[in-house]
Each structure stands twice: as C-alpha cells, then as structure tokens.
Amino acid sequence: GGNRNVGRQAGNVGWDTGTTVVANPLADPMRSRDLLQQPDHTSCFHNSVFQEGPGDAVVPTDKAGHTPSSSDPATSASIAKITALEKEKEAAGGSSHGSGRAAGQEFDDAGASERAKARWDFLRTAVFDGRVRALLLSADYSVVTATFARLFPQDFDRALPVFNHNKVDQLLIRLDYHHAMYSKAYTKHKRMTKRPRHRLGCCGLYGRKVDSMAYHLQRVHELEEAVKEARKETVAEGRTPSWIVLFKTQQAAAIASQSVILAEDNHEFTVHPAPGPEEVNWQALNFSYKQRTLRSIIVQPLLLLLIAFPIGLFSGALMQLDFLFCPVHRCEAPDGTIRLSNTGCEPNDVDLSNDVEQAFKWEWYCADKHFFTQYLSKLITGWIPSLLVTLWQVLVLPVTMIVLVQASGSCVSLSQVDEKVATYIFWHNAGQVFLGGMLGSAFAQQINQFFEAGPAAAVDILGTYLPASSNFFLTYLLFRTLVLVPFRMMIPHLAVRMYIFRRWLFRCSRAALSPREKAFLYTPTSVRMGFEVGMALLVFLVVMSFSVVAPIMPVVGVGYMCASWVLWRHAVLYIYVRKYESGGLMWPIIFKIMLFIYCIFGIFVACVFAVKRAYVQALLLLFLVPIFLYKFNAYAYYRFARSTLHVPLRLANGAPPAQLDARCYIPPPMNEHSMGWHPEWMKPWTGWNIPSAYCVT
C-alpha cells in the first residue's frame, strides 16, 4: 500500500535481446542485479515464488512446489548439479568428530566457485528459454511490473524498486568525516616535526592517545569495506514500498500518471508523476502510507505552533514602548476624533491628558535631557524590533520549517519541499509578522486606554489606531532595503561568513588550512527558493496593505524591489548554483498568494472608506473584491494550472521516444565508487547548515 511513482520521464536503456552476460554473481552482485532488471530478462520465473533450499541455494518453484521446466535437459542438469553440491556440503559438515568442521570449511572453499557456476548456468538457461521474461506478467513476482506490462505492452520499459539506502549514506558520512580529519592531520604534520596525536574520548578531553594519521586512515579502510557490505545488504533486504516506473514514450507515461489504474480504494498501489532524477526526495520514498499518515499527525501540530509563534506581536510592541512608559497625551481633534500621543497634541487639538490615568510610567526612560536615554529609546523602538524579526526569519524559521516538512515525508521531490516551505513561511509572516505587528503596535499604544475604557471599547480603539502600526513596517522595509540587501551583496550566503571567520581564526592561531578546508570555504551554495519567495511575498503584502494609509510605503517597496533585483540578478548568475530544476512549478504558488494579497488590499481599502464614512464604497469593495478574485483564481486554475500537474496528452503524443538510462534513478550512495555523492546531496538546500536528513527519519 505504499506510494508508487510513475515516471514523468520515459526511457529505454536499450539492452539487446538475447545478450549473453558472463559474470560471477557472487563476485559481482551488482552486475547480476542489473541482469535481473533488464527488460527482456527481468528476474525469474512465471507464476513462481522463491523458496530457500538446503544451505543457501535458491531454487525457483511454482505455487505447487514443482520445479518449472524440469523436462528441459539443461535445466534438469543444472538443478541436479546444485542439489548434489548441497548434499555434498551437508555430508562434509555433518561429521560429529572434530575434523568435520574443517572438512566442511574445505568444501566451502573448494566448492564455492562450483556452486556459483551451477547457479549462473541455471539462470542463463532460464533467460534463453524466456522464463525470466515471462515474469513481467506475473503478479506473484511484482504487482507493479505485471500491471503496467499488461496495460502498456509496447511502451512499458521497466519498474525500478526503491531501496532504503540510509545505512549506506550514514556510513559514507562517517567515511567523509575521517577523510577530512586525515587531510587535516596530514597538513598539520607537514608543518610540524612530529606526527599529530589526539585522544579518543569525547572532544579529545580523555581516553588514550593515538596517532591521528594512522587512526583516521585505518578508519577510512574499515568504513570502505563496511560501505560495500552495506550496499549488498541494501539490495538484498532494503526494499521499500515505492517503485519508479519507466516508459519508452511520453504518451504512455502521461496516461499512466493521471489515470485510475486499480479499482475500489487503490489498496495495492497508487500512481503519481515522478520527479526528475536530480530532484527526487529519496527519504520520502522510504515511508509507507501508514508511516506518512502517522508522521503528518505528529508534524502538523508542530508546524501550526511554529506558524503561530508571536514574533511580530512582540516586535510590534517594542516599537511602541514610548506609549507604555512615557506620559500620554489624549488629544481631541476639532471633528471629535480622539488620539493618543506621547509627543504632545496639535495646536488645534484639545489636550485631555488629565483624564488619563497612567498604568505604567518610567520617568528615567522618558527623560529628554539625558543623552543615554534618548539613544536607548531610539535603539529599542527603532532598530531592535526589525533586527529581532530579521534574525528570526533568517536563522531560526527556515531551518526549523524545512526540518518539519522533511519529517512529514509528504514530498516526493525537492521542488515540492520548497513549495511547501514557501507557503508555510508566507502564512507565518502574514499571521505573525504582519497581523501580529499591527495588533502589537496598536495594543502597546492603547494599553492605558484599555484599562480606562474596558474591553467594550477594544474594537473601536483597534479600528481607529491600526494605521499607526505602519511605522513598524516602514522601519522594517527600510532595514531590509538599506541594511540587509547591501549586507547580502557583500556576504551573499553562509559559506562566505564561514570563510571570513575561519580564515582569520586560523590565521590568528597559525593553523594551516588543508586543501579540503580551502575547498569548503569556497564551496558555492544553492538558492533557498522556498524561503526567499516567502520573504518577497511578505514585502508585497505589507506594501499593498498600507499603500492607502501610508503613501510612502509603495515608494520604499519599489526601492526594495529594485535593490533586490540587482542583488538576485548577480547572485543567481554568478554566485549560487542550481540544486534541481522544477520547470517553473513555483509560479502557481506565487500566483495564488498574490491573489490573496490583493484580497487583503481590498479589505484594507474598505476599512479606510468605513472610517471616512463612505459606507457604500466600503461594502462594494468588501463583497465584490473577494468574489471576483475567487472566480478569477478558479478560471486561471482550470485554464493554466492543471497542465502543470500532468503533461498534456496532446504534447506527449507529439514527443519522440525518449532514451533514458535507468541508472539515472540509482541514488548516489548505491553507485559504484559512490559517484555523485557528497554530504549534502539529499538536502533541498546546499550550504546552509541544514541538519542531516537522518535526524528526522
């Protein structure tokens, strides 16, 4: 009942029918696995199951327990030879004397090649007889293979099982660590007269001392052998519920990916378009349907808690500390409106300050004659709130968000991870930074009036003084435009900061940088697409919402967009590297969020009309704008967005047959010599210190 992925890419490895493959399956198990996955001889026997015979021999039999095609002379001879060898092994190892074990060991050493040759002859005979190819239609061998081979007899290429390679990957991470430590010790040895030594205890604080170079080199050799054994175990026992199905034509892949393959509740398997080889989220394919459901139940409350964290409420309240601690002037305008100010009333206003009883008052903080208090007030109410929000958004929010999304196991591609992260980050910004900033600012301004008027007047107070919160967002946009964008132009990503820190740290300590550490300092990073899109949409939300009540806001927003355009044009072309290619699937997410922002803009303008007593215009905007945007979103979805979910059949029909090497869908840890592997190969963002995927698996 796991997730079965149907390949969006169609391909054919192009094996020649009847090709004779001569190899030793025990000496090269990966080669024998490739043979069994070829389209013309894919695995073993029609209507057969595997049964373990004496010893380790695997004897294919049918459901009744009879050996198929036993009348074939070659097959009978191979089976007889395997059986005879197993009986000889039992006889050699069954002696009750002390020499029995030695005799059995001698037989194992002498007869291993004979048993391997007999098994290989047996398999090769079955390949030439066509019994291996007949397994394509056997549901007992593979429901996935049999289903698509019957539905697409001409276009079906192969079905690739997905293996859980976590053990191999963790061993490779440890191997990479010891490689790095050996390189560091070797560089240190070249600058010293004696070989470096270290303790084996935690952080090198205790334990026996060992030669660093010899120790790490020994660990490298041990882990290399462990990786080879782990690959064999993964192929033998690491099967997951997921498959990747390849076709020879785009049309067959498009039809299979958007069709209901099975009746009733799709209990056996379901189909989805498969991502490209470079954007497969392998760790999500290891989970079954029940595991993903359980993970979603656990992760969703944590995501809601993270989205609901009130960082904007706290920062917006800091902006208005003057209203909380300093004397408040209650000013009544000639038209009867009342506002609170800590700087005094306008000349034409009536000061009603005597009627206000200050709940909180800090005389030293409000003293205007002291230079330190003036500087502290500007720092707390001006830059610290924006700095706190920026640090939360840049350092804490993206890492925590992507770890939770990966822990849910619901995204089979890296682009889907970025899409979910962008959506969650925007909703966090809209709910906490935007809404929390407005409510926190208004609450801090009017807390004394709340104590005086009571909860009954809360709605009127909030409706009157919410536009004053535009000061917080204006400062926030100015901070991002004048400080953050120039800072990112000089230090575009974390690797540059680490380069500056480690370069001068090692220079002060006179420690030599190894070639590996130098390469690490210059390593390029990928774009955090989900995070950057969510942050850009927050700026768009702030500018559109306050464009009426604060006309300077669009000017600052345009300045931010122009500065960001210069930054990202240079960064994408010359600094960042591509992690994957999704084909523009982020745009539908941006389009939906922008329509939501337009809806918020209409509601804000309606509120302004209501304050100005233009109730007809306010009602028209309040009811017509959401309805129009909803209908337009439905129109755009049915006309444009549906074709992004699946390849249109008309386009797929005109596409030529594709030649796709199935080895593209072998994960790097399972490749020979781990080709394509690096410590962050499975992370959606490279070079941003994201925790390893195995902390959430």
pLDDT (tens digit per residue) in 549-563: 888 999 999 999 999
pLDDT tens figures, 257-269 = 888 887 766 678 8
- Domain tally, the chain: 2
Beta strand ranges found along 93-195 (DSSP E): 156-163
Is residue 660 within 8 Å of residue 246, measured between CB atoms? yes
Strand, coil or helix: 152:
coil
pLDDT tens figures, 517-539 = 777 777 788 999 999 999 999 99
pLDDT of residue 301: 94
* Residues 211, 317 share a domain: no
pLDDT of residue 39: 37
Averaged pLDDT for residues 75-87: 57
User: What is the per-residue burial (b if ≥16 Cβ within 10 Å, else e) of 641-672?
Assistant: eeeeebbeeeebeeeeebebebebbbbbbbee
Of the listed ranges 146-150, 310-314, 394-398, 480-484, the least confidently predicted one is: 310-314
Report residue 189: phi and psi, to 5°: -65, -35
Start-to-end CA span in the chain (Å): 19
Strand, coil or helix: 142:
coil
What does the alpha-carbon distance between residue 169 and residue 634 come to, in Å, rounded to a whole number? 44
* Residues 174, 320 share a domain: no
Burial class (CB in 10 A: 0-12, 13-18, 19+), 679: middle
Read off the DSSP letter of residue 279.
G
| Of the residues 195, 218, 234, the one at which a domain ends | 234
pLDDT of residue 318: 62
* Residues 590, 478 share a domain: yes
Asked whether the predicted pLDDT for residue 343 surpasses 70, the reply is: no
Burial class (CB in 10 A: 0-12, 13-18, 19+), 117: middle
What does the alpha-carbon distance between residue 404 and residue 428 come to, in Å, rounded to a whole number? 14
Which of the pair, 696 or 219, is modelled with greater confidence? 219
Range of the domain at 187: 168-234
Q: Which residue has the tokens 């859980």?
A: 164
Strand, coil or helix: 270:
strand
Of the candidates 14, 2, 5, the one whose C-alpha atom is nearest the C-alpha of residue 658 is 14
What does the alpha-carbon distance between residue 80 and residue 74 come to, in Å, rounded to a whole number? 10
* Residues 302, 196 share a domain: no
Share of the chain above pLDDT 70, in %: 66
pLDDT of residue 315: 64
pTM of the model: 0.73
* Residues 526, 399 share a domain: yes
Averaged pLDDT for residues 666-692: 88
Averaged pLDDT for residues 615-623: 90
Averaged pLDDT for residues 663-678: 91
Residue 491: inside a domain, yes or no?
yes
Strand, coil or helix: 184:
helix
pLDDT tens figures, 36-64 = 344 333 333 222 222 233 333 333 334 33
What does the alpha-carbon distance between residue 321 and residue 441 come to, in Å, rounded to a whole number? 9
For residue 626, give both structure tokens: 């959401």
Amino acid at 256: A
Residue 373: inside a domain, yes or no?
yes
Residue 50: inside a domain, yes or no?
no
Phi-psi region of 440 (alpha: psi -120 to 50; beta: other; left: phi over 0): alpha
Residue 109: inside a domain, yes or no?
no
Rounded to the nearest 10°, the torsion over CA 203, 204, 207, 212 is 130
* Residues 172, 316 share a domain: no
Beta strand ranges found along 164-267 (DSSP E): 197-199, 209-211, 239-247
| Of the residues 191, 214, 234, the one at which a domain ends | 234
* Residues 590, 495 share a domain: yes
What does the alpha-carbon distance between residue 648 and residue 630 come to, in Å, rounded to a whole number? 25
| Model confidence band, residue 405 (pLDDT cutoffs 50, 70, 90) | very high
Which of the pair, 204 or 86, is modelled with greater confidence? 204
Residue 548: inside a domain, yes or no?
yes
Beta bridge partners of 329: 341
Of the listed ranges 160-164, 342-346, 597-601, the least confidently predicted one is: 342-346
Of the listed ranges 6-10, 155-159, 186-190, 443-447, the least confidently predicted one is: 6-10
* Residues 310, 228 share a domain: no
pLDDT of residue 539: 94
pLDDT of residue 553: 92
Q: Which residue has the tokens 């591609």?
A: 413
- The H or E element spanning position 30 is helix 29-36
Tell me how many degrees the CA angle 665-667-670 measures, rounded to the nearest 5: 120
Residue 499: inside a domain, yes or no?
yes
Read off the DSSP letter of residue 345.
-
Is residue 230 within 8 Å of residue 170, measured between CB atoms? no
* Residues 407, 309 share a domain: yes
pLDDT of residue 297: 93
pLDDT of residue 642: 84
For residue 48, give both structure tokens: 């057969």
What does the alpha-carbon distance between residue 425 and residue 282 come to, in Å, rounded to a whole number? 24
Residue 590: inside a domain, yes or no?
yes
Is residue 127 within 8 Å of residue 142, measured between CB atoms? no
Q: Report how far apart, in Å, the C-alpha atoms of 156 and of each of 14, 73, 148, 152, 162 are.
A: 13, 33, 6, 5, 18
Asked whether the predicted pLDDT for residue 329 surpasses 50, the reply is: yes
What does the alpha-carbon distance between residue 662 and residue 156 come to, in Å, rounded to a whole number? 13
Residue 117: inside a domain, yes or no?
no
pLDDT of residue 20: 24
pLDDT of residue 314: 65
* Residues 182, 318 share a domain: no
| Model confidence band, residue 692 (pLDDT cutoffs 50, 70, 90) | confident
Is residue 544 within 8 Å of residue 597, measured between CB atoms? yes
Dihedral over Cα of 628, 630, 634, 637: its sign: positive
For residue 398, give both structure tokens: 């993206």
* Residues 592, 461 share a domain: yes
* Residues 315, 230 share a domain: no
Is residue 36 within 8 Å of residue 58, measured between CB atoms? no
Burial class (CB in 10 A: 0-12, 13-18, 19+), 45: buried
Q: Report how far apart, in Å, the C-alpha atoms of 565 and of each of 135, 191, 481, 559, 561 are.
A: 57, 46, 11, 10, 6
Q: Please count the residues of the chain.
A: 697
* H-state helical runs in 274-383: 289-307, 311-318, 321-325, 371-378
| Of the residues 208, 234, 260, the one at which a domain ends | 234
Which of the pair, 663 or 343, is modelled with greater confidence? 663
Q: Which residue has the tokens 């294919």?
A: 60
